[in-house]
Structure 1
Amino acid sequence: MLSRQIREHPLLGGKELLVILLRRLAVSIPLLFAVSFLTFLLVSLTPGDAAYTVLGSSATPDQLAALRQQMGLDQPILVQYLNWVTSALQGNLGHSLITGQSVSEAIFQRLGPTLSLVGIATVAIVVIAVPLGLTSAVRGGRLATSIDTISFAGVAVPNFILALFAIPVFAVWLHWLPPSGYVPLASSPNKWALSLVLPVATLAFGAVGIIAKQTRAAAEDVMSSEFVTVQRANGYARQSIIWKHVLKASAVPIIAYLGVVIVTLFSATVLIETIFAIPGLGGLAVQASSQGDLPMLLGVTVVFTLIIVLINIVLDVVYALVNPKVTFR
């Protein structure tokens, strides 16, 4: 998430909020160009290319050279990148070098599963982790220890390892859930939900412990403040103090960590979608990378970056609305 320098400021109005948005956009535009160029450069320098993938090992050097020329792969890297940028600025992300499908169309078809996976995982993390963190801040003891254990396990055990253990247990042995595949929401809401249980659980497991731990730390800090002591002395109910005052005061660091977690979730979808055969952007990126399909990989990378930028902007706005005395530079 974008770094923040916090300073006291009067209540935010529409003008101040607009300034924050414009500053974020000013940073995001160069970021999009940098990410796309680095992706272009790295893929161009890797062995093999789309022409070899299309024609196969039996192709002659002349056939490969002719197809590379047809695809524009014989041009200098910088020229290829500038041609792509020119088209992208006009709303055209190009076509797949392998299938000929429009990159925009392919991304649109794959966007729903990825957003469903990350969106549900984010909601599950917030709904589970924040109450756990607040409760452990109040009670401590075994609950706090359990959260520390989950947090450590989430950091130590990668998502894909957890997925490889979850599939044999819950799908093969217990037959509770499908082992893989994705059912569109429009086809069957029940099957759609079932197809996402295991991917969402493996994706969210580690983050639940991390956010719960950060929530507990933030809540403990607020609960030790003079304000909460005065509230208790005045006879306010403990639950009221926690949910109305402690949670609101703790929201700023929780939102900050949540932004980092969401970015991590998007990066983790690359492996999770592959393991569970979910037709999302992560799987499309893996496929494009293995085939040397540069336009498709560029399109997916830019869309991923754009989604993360938009999420960070939304979180910054929420951050400012939760604490109007905070602004960002």
Structure 2
Amino acid sequence: MPFLLKRLASAVSLVFATSLIVFLLLSPAFDQVASNVLGENASLEQVEQLNSTLGFDRPVFVQYFDWLGGALTGDLGQSLFTTQSVWGALATRMPVTIALVVLVTLLSGIIGFAVGVLSAVKRGWVDKTLQFVTTLGDALPAFIIALFLVTIFAIQLGWLPATGYTDLTVNPAAWARSLTLPVAALTIVAVAGIAQQVRSAMISALGQDYVRTLRSRGLSEVRVVLVHVLRNASTTGLTALAVQVVGILGGAVVIEQIFAIPGLGSLAIEASVRTDVPLVLGTVLAYVVIVVVVNLLVDLAVAWLNPKVRLS
């Protein structure tokens, strides 16, 4: 319980700290908001009046704590351009991004662990081949891989749609088809980093004395590798997976633009271009919460696998 409470306190502190940093980074652009809303033909008096109405003429920290107070009560404000509530915009876009991130995280974790274990156990040409493939995947950015996949599977073969998104509740099959290429592009990049870390951890664990002891007791190689060695190496792999989630979210911003997916990434870009401060803050907060929740779940999984972590 103390371990969980410490992790929860750390997660909450991270959310608050990130929101403050983002607010301070956005504050220089507050003076441009009224001009963007009113247009180029607005007079200086109109701009100043709207700035006063929006509260942007107050000290930055006063504005931040006012926003924070609203956020703690569930009020993130509304868009300055569409007047839609920030919660309404997030509720529409967040499920799309979460579905994308969850699918990529699960697939990259499963494939990354499998490739890392296979490389560490087989070694030889198998290890070299997998190392080359994972290094290549790590070197190429997600949008390059996405363009390659679109060219082959959407344009040339016509198997999958090049762009567009279908809601799961409308047509599950079309939903799966619309996410196949985006998920594949992000997974290829994420698998590389996870596989490398799992491979290194497995090789290190296989050289430990307890492995030789287990083998001398007559345990099968499959049980030694998959039960004992993998359990010790999985903490490193899970940590790598948590790090990759941040990269997945960052890559999803570009991928959503390429495939015209209406997720948080495209919403964040639209809000940033228009300097829609409440919407930018809302999307950043949503991203931070996703990252914090994933890292919290990984910490709990690592603590379950390695009891020493709970005592550190």
Give me the TM-score of the superposition, normalised by structure 2. Answer: 0.94
- CA gap of 1:61–1:328, structure 2 versus 1, over 3 A, is farther
Specify the code of the residue in structure 1 equivalent to 2:21. Answer: L
2:215 is aligned to 232
* Per-residue CA distance 1:168-187 (angstroms, 9 max, x = gap): 22211211111112111111
- CA gap of 1:72–1:328, structure 2 versus 1, over 3 A, is farther
* Per-residue CA distance 1:174-222 (angstroms, 9 max, x = gap): 1111111211111111111111111111111122122112212111122
Whether 1:64 and 2:47 are equivalent positions in the alignment is: yes
Whether 1:179 and 2:162 are equivalent positions in the alignment is: yes
CA contact (8 A) 1:150 1:206 kept: no
Shift of 1:48: 6.4
1:91 is aligned to 74
1:302 is aligned to 285
Specify the code of the residue in structure 1 equivalent to 2:292. Answer: V
Pick from 35, 40, 47 the counterpart of residue 52 of structure 1.
35
Whether 1:212 and 2:185 are equivalent positions in the alignment is: no
2:6 is aligned to 23
The SS at the match of 1:183 is coil
* Per-residue CA distance 1:259-312 (angstroms, 9 max, x = gap): 111122122211111111111111111111111111111111112112211211
CA contact (8 A) 2:31 2:56 kept: no
RMSD: 1.8
Pick from 311, 317, 321 the counterpart of residue 294 of structure 2.
311
Pick from 246, 264, 286 the counterpart of residue 281 of structure 1.
264
| Matching of residues 91-240 of structure 1 within 5 Å | 91-240=74-223
Shift of 1:47: 8.1
2:228 is aligned to 245
The SS at the match of 1:46 is helix
CA contact (8 A) 1:96 1:293 kept: yes
CA contact (8 A) 2:97 2:263 kept: yes
Pick from 15, 21, 25 the counterpart of residue 42 of structure 1.
25
Separation in structure 1 between the aligned mates of residue 104 and residue 221 of structure 2, nearest angstrom: 30
Separation in structure 2 between the aligned mates of residue 68 and residue 328 of structure 1, nearest angstrom: 52
Give me the TM-score of the superposition, normalised by structure 1. Answer: 0.89
Q: What count of residue pairs does the alignment treat as equivalent? A: 312
1:270 is aligned to 253
Identity %: 39
**Which 10-residue stretch deviates more, 207-216 or 27-36?**
27-36
CA contact (8 A) 1:43 1:294 kept: yes
CA contact (8 A) 1:147 1:212 kept: no
1:9 is aligned to none
The SS at the match of 2:307 is coil
Separation in structure 2 between the aligned mates of residue 136 and residue 33 of structure 1, nearest angstrom: 41
Where relative contact order (Cα < 8 A, 6+ residues apart) is larger, the structure is 1
* Per-residue CA distance 1:90-133 (angstroms, 9 max, x = gap): 11111111111111111111111111111000111122121221
2:15 is aligned to 32
Shift of 1:49: 2.8
Separation in structure 1 between the aligned mates of residue 178 and residue 110 of structure 2, nearest angstrom: 20
Separation in structure 2 between the aligned mates of residue 315 and residue 213 of structure 1, nearest angstrom: 18
Separation in structure 2 between the aligned mates of residue 86 and residue 323 of structure 1, nearest angstrom: 39
CA contact (8 A) 2:235 2:306 kept: yes
Specify the code of the residue in structure 2 equivalent to 1:234. Answer: R
**Which 10-residue stretch deviates more, 100-109 or 127-136?**
127-136
**Which 10-residue stretch deviates more, 109-118 or 218-227?**
218-227
Separation in structure 1 between the aligned mates of residue 179 and residue 216 of structure 2, nearest angstrom: 47
CA contact (8 A) 2:268 2:280 kept: yes
